C-alpha cells in the first residue's frame, strides 16, 4: 500500500515562508504533514486563539491584527506571517487578542511540533526569538499623545539602586555615597527588605549638626517613615506623592524589593523627554535663542525614546516632527520680522527630513519653492527669509548642508517653472554623474506654505519619472555603487579613509542602499510616497517586488537603523558627538548574525534591481 | 433526506445482511448526532480519482481523505491511497497524471476500502459533488461487503448551490467546480491535482462555507446534510 500523507501544496507554501525554508527537507515534510487548517471570517468576534493550547498560526490567506489586552495594535499579519508564537516561546498565558480583518485560511502547528522544530533548526529558533523581540519593542507602551500620563516610574528611573545595610556605619555609607555619586541610599534589613532612607541632608542634620560619632549605625539616623512607589506606578502618581510630601527622593520598589531611586532630577529629565511638550515649547519661542535653548533637549528626547524601546521608524518620525516644528517656528519668526510673504511659496525638506527618518545627527537639506509670479524684488524677501531660517536651524544643531542644499543657495530658491526645469533635466537628460547628488531631491516634502504649489511640482516629477527607463537605469547605476560591506565579517574592515578606518558607515552602506531601492520603485510607479517603509509596502502592493522581499527590506532597514540609534544613544550618553560609524568589535554575536542577514537582504535586492532596471541599458 | 431513525434502521438491516468484519464494525459504530450543532461533528473529506464516470464499468484509481475535528482540518490523519485497477489506467492518465508505472505497490481495492471505512467510522462523509463519488463507493462496497456504503453525507457543491440560490440576484454562470467555489472564499489555488489535495481543498471549502453561512449561529448537523 502506498501511503503518502504529504500535501505538496502545503509543503511548498511553508517552504516559501522563512524560517521554514531553513528546515532540513525531512523535517519540513514532517511539519507539513502535521498541519491543522482552520478558516476565519472577517469580523467574527469570537476568539481565535486557542487559549487552552498555544500553537503557531501561519496565515495562508486573509489578514489579521494582533492587539494587546488593552487594544493596542502590535502586529498586522498577512499571508506568510505568524502569530501565537510569544506564548509558545515564553510559556506565559495568551493575553493578546486577534481580529480577523479579511477572511482567511490559517495553518496551525501545535506546541509540541513547534518545540521540535526549534530544536531541529537553530535558524528556525532564532527567527522566532527575534520576531518576539521585535514584537516586544513595538509593544512598548509608547503613545505620542498622553505620553507623560502613561509612562511608568520604572521607565524613567535613571539608575540601579544604591543600597546600604542597616548595620553599616555613617562613615561607610558616606564613602559609598561619594563613590557612587548619589545624594541618597536605600537601607535594607537582614532580609533585604527596605527599612530606611539616608540622604545627604540626614548626614548634615542628624550626624554633623548633632555631633554624633562617625561609627553611629545607620539605624539611628535613617528616615524610617518612608514613602515609596512601585515601579509600575505612573510617573504622574509619583510626581503627586513627591509634591504632597515635599520630598526629593522616592524609593522605587519592584515586587517589594528596592529597584531604584526616583529623584526630582529624573522628573525634570522625563519632562524634557516628552515630544509633545517639547513641540509645544517650540511653538512658544519668539526668538532664535529661545529655539536654541529648547533644541538642547533633543538629545535627551532621543535618549528616552531609545530607552523606551521605540522602533527606529517611530524615532525617525518623531525627531523629524521636531525638526519640522522648529523650521515652521523659524519661518513664523522671520515673517514676523520681514512682514507677510509677497507671493505664494512652499518650504521644502529633502533627504532624511523629507523621508521622516532623521537620526541624532542631521544636516540641513531644504529649499524654497516660489510661485511663478515671483519678481527679483520678491526674491530678496525670500533670500532674507531663507537666511533667517537656515541660520536658525544651524544654531539649533542642524548643521549647514556641506553640499549647500539649502534655501539660502540661489539655485535651490526658485519659482515653480525653474524647479520643474531642474527636475525634468535630471529625469529627461539623465547622466549618472548629474544624478549622483540629486537623489535627495526626489525625497521631498512640503513643511510649510502653499500645498497646491508643491503638489503641482510633485505631479510633474512623478509623471515624468514613471516608467522612464533611461532615468531609472541611471538612478539604479548610482544606487548600486553603495553596497553593504559583505567582506565586513571576514576582515572587519572598513571605510577606506579617515578616523573611522575600522568602522562601518551604517548610514552610507546600510540604510541608504535601502532608501535608494525604495525610491527607485516609487519613482518607477510614479508614486508620491516618500517614506522608505511606506514606499516598500506600496511596491509590494503594486507587485513591483514580492511581499517577502518588501518585508525583508523593511526588517533590514529597521534593524540597521535601530543599531545606529543605539550607537548614537550611547555616544550621546557618553557626552561625545554622535556619528554613523559602527565598530564591529562592539557587536554581539547575535547582532552580527542579524547584520549579516540584513546585508544579504540588501545585496540580493540590489541584484534584483540591477536586473529589473539596468537591463541592456548600462 | 434521511431522518435519524431511518439511518439507524438501515444500520440494523445492513448488519443483518453483512458478514464482513470490517463493515460490521463500521456499521456498529454510533452514527453522528443529527441534532447536535454541526461544529461538534467529526467529518472525513474524501475525494476519488476514477478511470471514468460510470460506476459500473469504470474503476477507482485513488482515494484521498482528511479528517476534520473541532472544525480544523487535521493533516496528520490524511491518507492518499493508490488503488490497483484490473484494466490499467488507460485514457484517464491524461487527466490525473497517474500512469501505470506509478501503480506499482498500489493497494487492492479491498485494502483501500477497509482503510477508508476505518477512517470514516463515526464521521460524516464530506464530498464535493457527492453523487459521482458515492456511486463508486456504493458499488465498491456492494461488491466487497455485500451491502452499499451507508453514510451521512455533506456535499459542498450542494451547500454552494444553496448559497447561490439564497443570494440569487440573477447571477448565472457562477461556476460550481471546486476551484470556482474556493475562489469565492479567498481560498488559495492548489495547482497539483490529486485525490488528497482535492480532499483537503474540499475540507477547506466546507469550513469557509459554514463560517459564512452560520457565523456563530447554532445549527444542527441535520441542516447541512444532503442525504
Q: What is the CATH number of the domain that holds B191?
A: 3.30.420.10
Residue B71 and residue A37 in contact, taking contact as beta carbons nearer than 8 Å: no
In terms of phi and psi (left: phi > 0; alpha: psi -120 to 50; beta: otherwise), the region of A396 is alpha
The set of residues, in sequence order, having a beta carbon less than 8 Å from that of B2 and lying 6+ positions away, is B10, B152, B225, B227
Considering the segment(s) A273-461 as one domain, its CATH architecture is 2-Layer Sandwich (3.30)
Band (A523; pLDDT cuts 50, 70, 90): very high
Q: Of A595, A613, A606, A607, give the one whose Cα is nearest residue A130.
A: A595
Q: What is the CATH number of domain A466-618?
A: 1.20.120
Residues of B in contact with A2 (CB under 8 A): 80-82, 105-107
Hey, what long-range contacts does A478-481 have (CB within 8 A, 24 or more apart)?
A478/A432, A478/A435, A478/A436, A478/A439, A478/A516, A479/A439, A479/A513, A479/A516, A479/A517, A479/A520, A479/A606, A479/A609, A480/A606, A480/A609, A480/A610, A480/A614
Q: What is the mean pLDDT of residues A497-503?
A: 55
Q: What average pLDDT does chain A have?
A: 84
Distance (Å, whole) CA A83 – CA A366: 42
Residues of B in contact with A62 (CB under 8 A): 186
What's the pLDDT at A139?
Answer: 45
Q: Of B151, B152, B164, give the one whose Cα is nearest residue B209.
A: B164
Q: DSSP states of A192-206 as a string?
A: S-EEEEEEHHHIIII
Residues of B in contact with A10 (CB under 8 A): 75, 200
What's the pLDDT at B1?
Answer: 44
Q: How far is B43 from chain A (nearest CA, A)?
A: 14
Q: What is the mean pLDDT of residues A136-148?
A: 44
More confident residue, B13 or A586: B13
How many Cβ contacts (< 8 angstroms) between chains A and B? 96
Residue with cell 575600522: A502
Under DSSP, is residue A112 helix (H, G, I), strand (E, B) or coil?
Answer: helix
Q: What is the mean pLDDT of residues A255-276?
A: 77
Q: In terms of DSSP H, where are the helices of B69-220?
A: 93-96, 109-120, 130-145, 156-166, 178-183, 195-214
Using a 10 angstrom Cβ sphere, with 0-12 exposed, 13-18 middle and 19 or more buried, the burial of residue A209 is exposed
Nearest CA in chain B to A12: B190
Of residues B72, B197, B216, nearest to A9 (C-beta): B197
What's the pLDDT at A390?
Answer: 95
| Range scoring the smallest mean pLDDT among A20-29, A370-379, A413-422, B163-172 | B163-172
What's the pLDDT at A494?
Answer: 44
Angstrom CA distances, A316 to A267, A276, A441, stand at 24, 15, 19
More confident residue, A5 or A446: A446
Of residues A1, A9, A41, nearest to B81 (C-beta): A1
Does A4 have pLDDT greater than 60? no
Band (A589; pLDDT cuts 50, 70, 90): low
Indicate yes or no: pTM above 0.80: no
What's the pLDDT at A343?
Answer: 94
Band (A35; pLDDT cuts 50, 70, 90): very high
Cell triple for A104: 482567511
* Mutual angle of helices A547-573 and A532-541, in 10-degree steps: 170
Q: What is the mean pLDDT of residues A364-390?
A: 94
Asked if the Cβ–Cβ distance from A105 to B188 is below 8 Å, we say yes
Asked if the Cβ–Cβ distance from A105 to B74 is below 8 Å, we say no
Q: How far is B21 from chain A (nearest CA, A)?
A: 20
Residues of A in contact with B80 (CB under 8 A): 2-5
Which residues of B make CB contacts under 8 Å with A? 71-76, 78-82, 105-107, 111-112, 115, 185-188, 190-192, 196-197, 200, 203-204, 207-208, 211-212, 215-216
Q: Of B211, B18, B95, give the one whose Cα is nearest residue A103.
A: B211
Fold (topology level) of A150-270: CBS-domain (3.10.580)
What's the pLDDT at A551?
Answer: 86
Query: What residue segments make up the domains of chain A, in order of their start?
Result: 8-139, 150-270, 273-461, 466-618
Residues of B in contact with A40 (CB under 8 A): 211
A288-324 pLDDT, tens digit each? 999 998 898 888 888 877 776 677 888 888 889 899 9
What's the pLDDT at A273?
Answer: 66
Residues of A in contact with B78 (CB under 8 A): 5, 7, 33
What's the pLDDT at A353?
Answer: 94
Of residues A4, A36, A61, nearest to B187 (C-beta): A61
Does A26 have pLDDT greater than 80? yes
| Range scoring the smallest mean pLDDT among A260-264, A483-487, B191-195 | A483-487
Q: Which CATH class is domain A8-139?
A: mainly beta
Asked if the Cβ–Cβ distance from A4 to B115 is below 8 Å, we say no
Residues of A in contact with B215 (CB under 8 A): 41, 44
More confident residue, A459 or A150: A459
Asked if the Cβ–Cβ distance from B188 to A41 is below 8 Å, we say no
Asked if the Cβ–Cβ distance from A2 to B80 is below 8 Å, we say yes
Which residue range forms the structural domain that includes residue B80? Answer: 4-223
Per-residue pLDDT in tens (0 to 9) along chain B, 227 residues: 455 678 888 889 999 998 899 999 999 998 889 999 999 999 999 999 998 888 888 889 999 999 999 999 999 999 999 998 665 555 555 555 555 555 566 788 999 999 999 999 999 999 999 999 999 999 999 999 999 999 999 999 999 988 888 776 545 557 888 888 898 888 988 876 789 999 999 999 999 999 999 988 899 999 999 86
Does A491 have pLDDT greater than 60? no
Rounded to an integer, what is the distance from CA A259 to the centroid of its chain?
A: 27
Which residues of A make CB contacts under 8 Å with B? 1-5, 7-10, 13, 32-41, 44-46, 60-62, 102-105, 108
Q: Of A75, A57, A258, A244, give the one whose Cα is nearest residue A164.
A: A258
Strands A163-165 and A184-188: parallel
Residues of A in contact with B72 (CB under 8 A): 36-38, 108
- State how many domains chain B has: 1
Amino acid at each position: 500500500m502506498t501511503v503518502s500523507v504529504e500535501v505538496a501544496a502545503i509543503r511548498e507554501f511553508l517552504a516559501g515562508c522563512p524560517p521554514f525554508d531553513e528546515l532540513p527537507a525531512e523535517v519540513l515534510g514532517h511539519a507539513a504533514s502535521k498541519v491543522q487548517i482552520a478558516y476565519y471570517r472577517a469580523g467574527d468576534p469570537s476568539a481565535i486563539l486557542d487559549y487552552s493550547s498555544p500553537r503557531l498560526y501561519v496565515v495562508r490567506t486573509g489578514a489579521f491584527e494582533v492587539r494587546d489586552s488593552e487594544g493596542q495594535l502590535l502586529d498586522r499579519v498577512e499571508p506568510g506571517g505568524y502569530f501565537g508564537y510569544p506564548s509558545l516561546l515564553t510559556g506565559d498565558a495568551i493575553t493578546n487578542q486577534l481580529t480577523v480583518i479579511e477572511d482567511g485560511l490559517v495553518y496551525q502547528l501545535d506546541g509540541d511540533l513547534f518545540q521540535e522544530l526549534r530544536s531541529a533548526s537553530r535558524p528556525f529558533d532564532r527567527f522566532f526569538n527575534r520576531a518576539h523581540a521585535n514584537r516586544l519593542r513595538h509593544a512598548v507602551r509608547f503613545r505620542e499623545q498622553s505620553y507623560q500620563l502613561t509612562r511608568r516610574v520604572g521607565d524613567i528611573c535613571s539608575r540601579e539602586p544604591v543600597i546600604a545595610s542597616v548595620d553599616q556605619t555613617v562613615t561607610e555609607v558616606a564613602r559609598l555615597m561619594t563613590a557612587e555619586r548619589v545624594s541618597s541610599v536605600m537601607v535594607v534589613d537582614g532580609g533585604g527588605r527596605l527599612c530606611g532612607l539616608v540622604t545627604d541632608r540626614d548626614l548634615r542634620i542628624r550626624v554633623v549638626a548633632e555631633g554624633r560619632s562617625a561609627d553611629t549605625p545607620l539605624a539611628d539616623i535613617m528616615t524610617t517613615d518612608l514613602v515609596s512607589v512601585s515601579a509600575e506606578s505612573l510617573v504622574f502618581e509619583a510626581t503627586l506623592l513627591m509634591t504632597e510630601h515635599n520630598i526629593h527622593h522616592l524609593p522605587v520598589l519592584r515586587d517589594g524589593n528596592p529597584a531604584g531611586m526616583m529623584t526630582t532630577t529624573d522628573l525634570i529629565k522625563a519632562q524634557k523627554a516628552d515630544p509633545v511638550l517639547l513641540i509645544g515649547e517650540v511653538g512658544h519661542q519668539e526668538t532664535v535663542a529661545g529655539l536654541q535653548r529648547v533644541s538642547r533637549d533633543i538629545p535627551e528626547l532621543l535618549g528616552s525614546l531609545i530607552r523606551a524601546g521605540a522602533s527606529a521608524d517611530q524615532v525617525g518620525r518623531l525627531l523629524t516632527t521636531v525638526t519640522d516644528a522648529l523650521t515652521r517656528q523659524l519661518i513664523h519668526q522671520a515673517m514676523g520680522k520681514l512682514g507677510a510673504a509677497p507671493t505664494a511659496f512652499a518650504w521644502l525638506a529633502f533627504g532624511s527630513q523629507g523621508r521622516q527618518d532623521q537620526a541624532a545627527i542631521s544636516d540641513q537639506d531644504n529649499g524654497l519653492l516660489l510661485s511663478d509670479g515671483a519678481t527679483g524684488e520678491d526674491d530678496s524677501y525670500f533670500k532674507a527669509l531663507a537666511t533667517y531660517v537656515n541660520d536658525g536651524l544651524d544654531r539649533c544643531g542642524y548643521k549647514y548642508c556641506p553640499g549647500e542644499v539649502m534655501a539660502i543657495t540661489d539655485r535651490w530658491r526658485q519659482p515653480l517653472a525653474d524647479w520643474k526645469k531642474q527636475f525634468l533635466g535630471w529625469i529627461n537628460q539623465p547622466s549618472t554623474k548629474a544624478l549622483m547628488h540629486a537623489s535627495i531631491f526626489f525625497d521631498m516634502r512640503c513643511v510649510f506654505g502653499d500645498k497646491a504649489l508643491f503638489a503641482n511640482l510633485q505631479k510633474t516629477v512623478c509623471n515624468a519619472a514613471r516608467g522612464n527607463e533611461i532615468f531609472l537605469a541611471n538612478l539604479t547605476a548610482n544606487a548600486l555603487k553603495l553596497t553593504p560591506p559583505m567582506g565586513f565579517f571576514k576582515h572587519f574592515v572598513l571605510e577606506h579613509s579617515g578616523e573611522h578606518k575600522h568602522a562601518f558607515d551604517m548610514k552610507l552602506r546600510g540604510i541608504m542602499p535601502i532608501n535608494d531601492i525604495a525610491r527607485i520603485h516609487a519613482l518607477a510607479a510614479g508614486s508620491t510616497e516618500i517614506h522608505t517603509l511606506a514606499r516598500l509596502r506600496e511596491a509590494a502592493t503594486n507587485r513591483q517586488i514580492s511581499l517577502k522581499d518588501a518585508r525583508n527590506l523593511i526588517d533590514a532597514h529597521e534593524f540597521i537603523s535601530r543599531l545606529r540609534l543605539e550607537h548614537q544613544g550611547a555616544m550621546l550618553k557618553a557626552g561625545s558627538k554622535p556619528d554613523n560609524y559602527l565598530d564591529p568589535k562592539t557587536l554581539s554575536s547575535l547582532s552580527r548574525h542579524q547584520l549579516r542577514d540584513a546585508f544579504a537582504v540588501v545585496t540580493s535586492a540590489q541584484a534584483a534591481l540591477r536586473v529589473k532596471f539596468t537591463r541592456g541599458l548600462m | 433526506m434521511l431522518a435519524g431513525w431511518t439511518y439507524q434502521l438501515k444500520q440494523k438491516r445492513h448488519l443483518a445482511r453483512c458478514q464482513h468484519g470490517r463493515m460490521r464494525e463500521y456499521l456498529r459504530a454510533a452514527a453522528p448526532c443529527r441534532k447536535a450543532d454541526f461544529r461538534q461533528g467529526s467529518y472525513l473529506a474524501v475525494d476519488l480519482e476514477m478511470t471514468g464516470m460510470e460506476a459500473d464499468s469504470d474503476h477507482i484509481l485513488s482515494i484521498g481523505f482528511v479528517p476534520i475535528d473541532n472544525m480544523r482540518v487535521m493533516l496528520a490523519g490524511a491518507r492518499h491511497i493508490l488503488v490497483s485497477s484490473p484494466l490499467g489506467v488507460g485514457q484517464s492518465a491524461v487527466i490525473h497524471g497517474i500512469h501505470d508505472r506509478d501503480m506499482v505497490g498500489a493497494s487492492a481495492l479491498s485494502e483501500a476500502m477497509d482503510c477508508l471505512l476505518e477512517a470514516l467510522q463515526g464521521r460524516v462523509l464530506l464530498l464535493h459533488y457527492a453523487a459521482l463519488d458515492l456511486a463508486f463507493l456504493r458499488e465498491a462496497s456492494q461488491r466487497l461487503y455485500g451491502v452499499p456504503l451507508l453514510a451521512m453525507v455533506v456535499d459542498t457543491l450542494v451547500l454552494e448551490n444553496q448559497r447561490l440560490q439564497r443570494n440569487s440576484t440573477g447571477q448565472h454562470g457562477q461556476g460550481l467546480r471546486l476551484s470556482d467555489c474556493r475562489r469565492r472564499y479567498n481560498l488559495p489555488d492548489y495547482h497539483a491535482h490529486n485525490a488528497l489535495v482535492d480532499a483537503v481543498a474540499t475540507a477547506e471549502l466546507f469550513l469557509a462555507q459554514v463560517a459564512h453561512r452560520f457565523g456563530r449561529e447554532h445549527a444542527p448537523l441535520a441542516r447541512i446534510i444532503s442525504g
